[in-house]
Homo-oligomer: A and B are copies of this chain.
Amino acid sequence: MMDEEKGKSAEPTTTTTTTRVNMDREDVDGEERDPEANPLNEPLLKRSRTISSSHLAMVGAKVSRIESLDYEINENDIFKHDWRSRSAVQVLQYLCLKWTLAFLVGLLTGLIATAINLAVENIAGYKLLAVSDFVEEERYLMGFVLLTTANFFLTLFAAVLCVFFAPTAAGPGIPEIKAYLNGVDTPNMYGANTLIVKIFGSIGAVSAGLDLGKEGPLVHTGACIASLLGQGGTEKHRLKWRWLRYFNNDRDRRDIITCGASSGVCAAFRAPVGGVLFSLEEMATWWRSALLWRTFFSTAVVVVVLRAFIEFCSAGNCGLFGTGGLAMFDVSDATVRYHVMDIIPITAIGIIGGVLGSLYNHLLHKVLRLYSLINEKGKLHKLLLSLTVSLFTSACLYGLPFLSPCTKCDASQSDCPTTETTGNFKQFNCQDGYYNDLATLLFTTNDDAVRNIFSTNTPNEFHPLSLLIFFALYCILGLFTFGIAVPSGLFLPIILMGSAYGRLLGMAMGSYTQIDEGLYAILGAASLMSGSMRMTVSLCVIFLELTNNLQLLPMTMIVLLISKTVGDSFNPSIYEIILELKGLAFLNANPEPWMRHLTVGELVDAKPAVVTLCGVEKVARIVEVLRNTSYSAFPILDDVDVQAEESVTKVTQLHGLILRAHLVQVLKKKWFTPEKKRREEWEVRESFNWVELADRETNFDEAAVIKEEMEMYADLHPFTNTTPYTVVENMSIAKALVQFRQVGLRHMLIVPQYQAPGASPVIGILTRKDLIAHNILSGFPHIANSRGSEKQT
């Protein structure tokens, strides 16, 4: 329900309708909270000690209210009538539109990804070329000033955009999408502002040479495009096209956003299958074969667009945008020869990846908490933080290569040394015929750095000390860059870090192994990815598509499996950590073991009572309930006469569940009658249609209802979902959670095992927040304690 009480609790007006008030009182702690304020300290969201904690979460850098999504089929009279009357043509329209949208999502994501790539390669390329000229002329200070200034302003550009125009565009956006696909909506995540800032911010931040990738932001970009297309525009300027109305529901929006996210991954790595699998493994909670297919279609469109542009650019039409095929880090020329004993270094890489990955997760968690303290001090602090990181990065990237001695070029390497922006053997400050190995890794774009460190058939290109410096630098940058207020992806920093120790290990193996150093770098990158993000199949396919070398596959699989296993034994994946930190209520697939010992009845007992309404309710009561609670749904009870042993008794019967949005609609339309009576079906259909009711407008202007109307009645039956999913009170939380998550519910009604005469037929409502493990534990400290002691023993 994601509800939070704004003011005081509802006054019980009748005895039967209000029994226990199901609400999360922020004021239980004796503390009122303004949702827009930012009273953060460690942990980011202070939790109340009631069972259901707040419905606030970090969105961007702000605390906002989050909302739960609803995938239940709402069976009320109006929607039912709509299904019955939907013609075959309309169903066809809907299908066509869905495919068209999937196509457009792919097309636009592909185009935008290409645009971002073009911009980054050219901005960063010309910047590096100019600096390179100064270095060649040995005007080192001028080079430093130029690089630092350029990076400073690029970072400033990105940070200003993020801080002032769309705070939600900062960071990768993947955790929020993951939460969305799990059923938690965060406001302003998929707006036009966010999209534009994400695109330009990402161009700025990546061109500025910061240790971040454009991959995460591209995923978010894809999701934004999908969401905007699905809604037919922004909140304010929305296309009122009739066809688009079919998409005004959580279910279709989820599908189209999944397509968008997959397209984003595909565009980021030029990995169509990897994109689909990433969405499937890492992000999507519900998955259907039909969705798999549609997602696949979107990524196919993306890859065709990318392919076309690569073709176009290979003719030299795109400035410094490189040539090359579809595989970003192609190592298909490397022959992979391995024997049984190679299992030892491969296992070693896996274990190192797992340990380092979980360590990285742990440290990043600490840094993000620290940053949140800085960020909450205000916009200026955010900017300063970003700019400090930029200055530090520029200084290191430019300064460190001077520490490295020059190496003589090998005659077999035709492209050594080079003064181009791309290329594997950078001359930098060295004389002709020599190259600076650290400059090859640092004085270049991140993509090229990866390409260089992955380069095969170049044994001993890098000095171990250079690789160590590179590794240390990127560990520091990787930790301190992610949290700044610019769009930033996690993939590339992790790949850079991982490849360094991978290649180092490969060099250390020496003649023990026949596997190329470059392949070791790839395995290192894969291991750290898996150790931090804990994906397996999707990473495997992404690496396959990135490197275009099938022979590497068995080794990659083993490395990924080992890293994930090792990492999982320390802490959860980085995305789960961020979700937890942001307070986004993510429902995991597997219930905790202790959830089997607690029933939903006990859970409901620990909560305030549920607020119910009558089937034909007084307007004053509706207004009051809307004012005093912020629940998104209310059970509707009816008093009915039943014949029992020749005497007529009155009993209370559950009619269903009404959504807050529908109550607001009833009030807005002033669909009242002076007397208490049920109304005819045609009357309802005259006044309401399903398009209006599909809207999620929950804000309600009290002034609209005048005093006389307060005494009138509204018939709520036609708007009531008569078949809400219910569970019996003695069901374990584990079992209820399975139903809640699998069916994709927003509300689950708890019914008594037997309804005594006169008692309420519904004893509580469970919502997403109620089923989150740590929320439950906060209300049942003894379970938390027994778990703690179990862990110690």
**Which of A11-19, A302-310, A454-462, A702-710 participates in binding chain B?**
A302-310
Contact A289 B281 (CB under 8 A): yes
Set B332, B561, B731, B754: member contacting A297, Cβ < 8 A: B561
User: Digit string of A646-669 for contact with B (CB within 8 Å is 1, else 0)?
Assistant: 000101011000000000000000
Cβ of A553 under 8 Å from chain B: yes
A590-B88 Cα distance, complex, nearest whole Å: 17
* Pair A756/B551 contact, Cβ less than 8 Å: no
Cβ–Cβ < 8 Å partners of A325 in chain B:
551
Neighbouring B residues of A272 by C-beta, 8 Å: 553-554, 557
Whether A290 is near chain B, meaning CB under 8 Å from some CB there, is yes
In the complex with contacts A73-B732, A753-B653, A589-B540 CB distance below 8 A: no
Question: B596 near A83 (CB under 8 angstroms)?
Answer: yes
A340 within 8 A of B: yes
Partner of A553, one of B273, B730, B731: B273
Stretch at the interface among A432-440, A686-694, A721-729: A721-729
Among A66-120, those with CB < 8 Å from B are 72-73, 75, 80, 83-84, 88, 91
B732 touches A293 (CB 8 A): no
Give Cα distance in the complex from A395 to B18, angstroms: 84
**A134 shortest CB reach to chain B, Å:** 40
Chain B residues whose CB sits within 8 angstroms of the CB of A129 once the complex forms = none
In Å, the complex CA distance between A541 and B277 comes to 11
Assembly CA distance A373 to B728 (angstroms): 50
Measured CB to CB, the nearest residue on chain B to A557 is B300
Q: Which residue of B lies closest to A540 (CB)?
A: B273
Measured CA separation A554–B287 after assembly (Å): 24
CB distance from A621 to the nearest CB of B (A): 23
Quick check: is A21 within 8 A (CB to CB) of the other chain? no
In chain B, what residue has the closest Cβ to A600? B723
Of the residues B84, B550, B654, contact of A326 by C-beta under 8 Å:
B550
Interface residue from B540, B722, B734, B739 paired with A743 (Cβ < 8 Å): B739
Q: Which of B83, B732, B754 contacts A653 (CB 8 A)?
A: B754
Given contacts A537-B296, A728-B726, contact A551 B88 (CB under 8 A): no
Please name the residue on chain B nearest to A86 by beta carbon.
Answer: B593
Q: Do A303 and B75 touch across chains, with their CB atoms under 8 A apart?
A: no
A244-280 vs B, CB cutoff 8 Å, 1 = contact: the mask equals 0000000000000000000000000000110011001
For chain A residues 199-224, which have a beta carbon within 8 Å of chain B? none
Count of A residues near B, CB < 8 Å? 87
Bound together, the chains give a CA A224 to CA B325 distance in angstroms of: 43
Residues of B within 8 Å of A288, CB to CB, are: 589-590
Chain B residue nearest in CB terms to A546: B550
Q: Closest Cβ of chain B: how far from A793's Cβ, in Å? A: 8
* Interface status of A327 (Cβ within 8 A of chain B): yes
Segment at the B interface, from A51-59, A230-238, A382-390, A637-645? A637-645
Q: CB within 8 Å of B: which of A305-336?
A: 307-308, 311, 325-327, 332
Per-residue interface assignment for chain A, residues 280 to 300, with 1 indicating a CB less than 8 Å from any chain B CB and 0 otherwise: 110000011110110011011
Q: Is the CB of A597 within 8 A of B84?
A: yes
Interface residue? A785 (CB, 8 A): no
How far does the Cβ of A317 sit from chain B's closest Cβ, in whole Å?
A: 16
> Residue A738 at the B interface, CB < 8 A?
yes
Is A790 in contact with chain B by the CB < 8 A criterion? Answer: yes
Q: Is the CB of B297 within 8 A of A738?
A: no
Specify which chain B residues have a CB less than 8 angstroms from the CB of A540 in the assembled complex: 273, 296
**A window 595-653: CB within 8 A of B:** 596-597, 640, 642-645, 649, 651, 653
Q: A303-B554, A722-B728 are in contact. List 10 more A-B contacts (CB 8 A).
A: A73-B734, A83-B597, A273-B540, A281-B289, A296-B561, A304-B554, A327-B550, A640-B754, A642-B756, A645-B758
The chain A residues found within 8 Å of chain B, CB to CB, are 72-73, 75, 80, 83-84, 88, 91, 272-273, 276-277, 280-281, 287-290, 292-293, 296-297, 299-300, 303-304, 307-308, 311, 325-327, 332, 339-340, 536-537, 540-541, 544-545, 548, 550-551, 553-554, 557-558, 561, 564, 589-590, 593, 596-597, 640, 642-645, 649, 651, 653-654, 722-723, 725-728, 730-732, 734-735, 738-739, 742-743, 753-758, 790, 793
Cβ contacts A to B, 9 pairs, < 8 Å: A73-B735, A276-B537, A287-B287, A293-B564, A303-B553, A303-B557, A304-B554, A644-B649, A743-B743
